C-alpha cells in the first residue's frame, strides 16, 4: 500500500504568509512515498532510509509520546522551550502524525505495521519535505485503515504535526502538497492559479543551519510588526497576475524584488546572495524558496528563472542544479 505526496515551492510570500499575507506556491515533481506493510509483531515501526533511522514503538509508548510532545509545544508557546526542543528526532514527527490520525479517527490497530517513508526531496531545504512526508504517511495509513477520509481532515491532521516542527506554520506547505497544482494561499484559504509554464530550475545550496521553525521564530522576533510585510504582499499579488498571464519578463522582475525583500529580513546567506547576483547579471532571476537561513552560508533551495540551465554558475559555487516542473495532482494513493 503506497501513497505519494509532492513537495512545494513558494514563488512568492514565504515568511509574509505567516503574518496572514498571501503566498503563491506550487506543487513540484519531487515527492515522498509512504509504504505500509503488516508487521510480524504488534509494534508500529518507522523505517526512514533517507536518514538511516529505524525505530519501533508500542501503542502505549506512542500515546505517552503524544502527551509529552503536546506539553513541549505548550511550553514553546509560553516561551519556555525553543522550537528545536519540541521534537527531538525526525521520527518524532511521524510518530506524532500517526497517533494523532489514529486518535482523531477513533481507531486502533489489530496488529503491528511498518511505515516506510522515502523521499527525493532535499530534507529541510525549503521544499516542504516535512509536510509532504507527513501527508504521505497520513494518506497511506488512512487507506490501510480503509477510511474514506476527507482532504480537510488530512489538512488539519498534518497541520497538527507541522506545528510541532515549525511552531507557527501558515499551512501553505500542507495545503499545496495535499491539493497539488498552484494556488494563491491566504489565511488558510486558497485560490487556484494555473501552473506556471515558464522554465524553472532548482539550485541546491545545501541544507540551512537553521530549521524552518527556528528561522520563522528569528524573523518573528525582529520583524513581526514591521511594515515590510505590505511590500511582500504587493509583490506576491503581482506574482499571481504574472503567473495567470504567463508573463515571463514580469515574473523575473518580481522575483528580483522578492529576493531583495528576503535579504532585508536576513534569511539569505551572503554566499547565496552572491550567486543570485551572478544569475541576475546573466539575465535570469533567482530567490530562495522556503524559510532560508538566518545563520551560516547555506540557504536551502534557490529557484532560478532563466532561459538557460545555470549549470556552470552553480558549479562555480559547488551547488547542484536541475529543472523543475509542477505536480497537478497532490497527495494520492499510487
Ligand X SMILES: Nc1ncnc2c1ncn2[C@@H]1O[C@H](COP(=O)(O)OP(=O)(O)OP(=O)(O)O)[C@@H](O)[C@H]1O
Ligand Y SMILES: C[C@@](O)(CCO)CC(=O)[O-]
Which residues are near ligand Y by CB under 6 A? Answer: 14-15, 17-18, 126, 128, 166, 169-170, 172-173, 212, 216, 290-291
Q: Within 13 Å of residue 224, how many CA atoms lie on the same side as its CB?
A: 6
Q: Which does 125 bind (CB under 5 to 8 A by kind): ligand Y, ligand X, none?
A: ligand X
CA distance 26 to 32: 16
When binding is defined by CB under 6 A, the residue of 6, 13, 112, 128 that contacts ligand X is: 128
Q: Nearest-5° angle of CA 63, CA 46, CA 83? A: 65
Compare residues 290 and 310 and give the one whose CB is closer to ligand Y: 290
d(C-alpha 288, C-alpha 257), whole Å: 12
Among 75, 123, 198, 282, binds ligand X (CB under 6 A): 123
Stretch that binds ligand X, among 78-86, 115-123, 244-252, 321-329 (CB under 6 A): 115-123
* Angle separating helix axes 172-179 and 151-166, nearest 10 degrees: 140
Q: Residues near 164 by Cβ (< 8 Å), separated by ≥ 6? A: 69, 72, 73, 86, 87, 92, 93, 96
Record the cell numbers describing residue 83, joined without a space. Answer: 522550537
CA–CA separation, 208 and 299 (whole Å): 5
- What residues between 218 and 247 interact with ligand X by CB under 6 A? none
Phi, psi angles (nearest 5°) of residue 98:
-65, -50
Q: Judged by CB under 6 A, does residue 50 bind ligand X? A: yes
Stretch that binds ligand X, among 125-133, 149-157, 253-261, 321-329 (CB under 6 A): 125-133
Min dist. Cβ of residue 185 to ligand X (A): 13
Which residue in the shown chain puts its C-beta closest to ligand Y? Answer: 170
In total, the chain counts a number of residues equal to 334
Question: Both ends of the chain: CA-CA distance in Å?
Answer: 8
Alpha-carbon span 28 to 201, nearest angstrom: 11
**In whole angstroms, how close is the CB of 201 to ligand X at the nearest point?**
18
> Does residue number 129 form part of the binding site for ligand X (CB under 6 A)?
yes
Is 290 among the residues that bind ligand X (CB under 6 A)? yes
Beta pairing partners, 6:
31
Q: Can you tell me which of 174, 212, 218, 294 binds ligand X, judged by CB under 6 A?
A: 212
In whole angstroms, the minimum distance from the beta carbon of 102 to ligand Y comes to 25
Q: Which of 117, 200, 239, 272 binds ligand X (CB under 6 A)?
A: 117
Rounded distance, CA 332 to CA 334, Å? 6
Q: How far is the CB of 51 from ligand X (least distance, A)?
A: 5
Report residue 134 as a C-alpha cell.
507527513
Q: Which does 93 bind (CB under 5 to 8 A by kind): ligand Y, ligand X, none?
A: ligand X
147 binds ligand X (CB under 6 A): no
23 part of the interface to ligand X, by CB under 6 A = no
Grid coordinates in use for 128?
Answer: 516542504
User: Does the protein bind ligand X through residue 173 (CB under 6 A)?
Assistant: yes
Binding residues for ligand X, per CB under 6 A?
32, 48, 50-51, 90, 93, 117, 119, 123-131, 133, 165-166, 173, 211-212, 290-291
Amino acid at each position: 500500500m503506497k501513497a505519494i505526496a509532492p513537495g512545494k515551492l513558494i514563488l512568492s510570500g514565504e515568511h509574509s504568509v505567516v503574518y496572514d499575507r498571501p503566498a503563491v506556491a506550487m506543487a513540484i515533481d519531487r515527492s515522498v512515498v509512504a509504504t505500509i506493510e503488516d508487521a510480524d509483531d504488534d509494534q508500529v515501526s518507522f523505517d526512514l532510509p533517507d536518514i538511516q533511522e529505524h525505530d519501533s514503538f508500542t501503542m502505549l509508548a506512542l500515546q505517552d509520546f503524544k502527551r509529552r510532545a503536546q506539553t513541549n509545544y505548550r511550553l514553546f508557546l509560553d516561551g519556555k522551550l525553543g522550537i528545536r526542543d519540541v521534537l527531538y528526532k525526525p521520527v518524532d514527527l511521524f510518530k506524532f502524525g500517526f497517533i494523532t490520525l489514529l486518535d482523531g479517527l477513533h481507531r486502533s490497530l489489530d496488529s503491528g505495521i511498518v511505515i516506510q517513508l522515502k523521499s527525493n526531496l532535499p530534507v529541510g531545504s525549503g521544499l516542504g519535505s516535512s509536510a509532504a512526508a507527513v501527508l504521505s504517511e497520513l494518506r497511506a495509513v488512512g487507506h490501510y485503515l480503509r477510511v474514506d477520509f476527507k482532504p480537510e481532515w488530512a489538512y488539519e491532521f498534518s497541520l497538527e504535526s507541522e506545528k510541532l516542527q515549525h511552531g507557527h506554520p501558515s499551512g501553505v506547505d500542507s495545503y499545496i502538497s495535499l491539493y497539488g497544482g498552484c494556488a494563491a494561499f491566504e489565511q488558510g484559504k486558497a485560490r487556484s492559479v494555473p501552473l506556471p509554464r515558464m522554465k524553472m530550475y532548482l539550485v541546491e545550496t545545501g541544507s540551512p543551519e537553521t530549521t524552518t521553525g527556528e528561522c520563522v521564530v528569528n524573523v518573528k522576533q525582529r520583524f513581526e510588526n514591521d511594515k515590510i510585510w505590505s511590500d511582500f504582499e504587493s509583490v506576491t499579488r503581482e506574482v499571481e497576475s504574472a503567473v495567470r498571464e504567463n508573463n515571463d519578463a514580469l515574473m523575473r522582475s518580481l522575483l528580483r524584488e522578492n529576493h531583495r525583500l528576503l535579504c532585508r529580513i536576513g534569511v539569505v546567506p551572503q554566499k547565496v546572495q552572491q550567486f543570485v547576483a551572478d544569475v541576475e547579471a546573466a539575465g535570469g532571476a533567482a530567490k530562495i524558496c522556503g524559510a532560508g537561513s538566518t545563520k551560516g552560508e547555506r540557504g536551502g533551495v534557490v529557484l532560478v528563472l532563466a532561459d538557460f540551465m545555470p549549470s556552470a554558475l552553480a558549479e562555480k559555487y559547488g551547488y547542484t542544479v536541475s529543472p523543475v516542473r509542477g505536480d497537478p495532482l497532490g497527495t494520492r494513493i499510487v
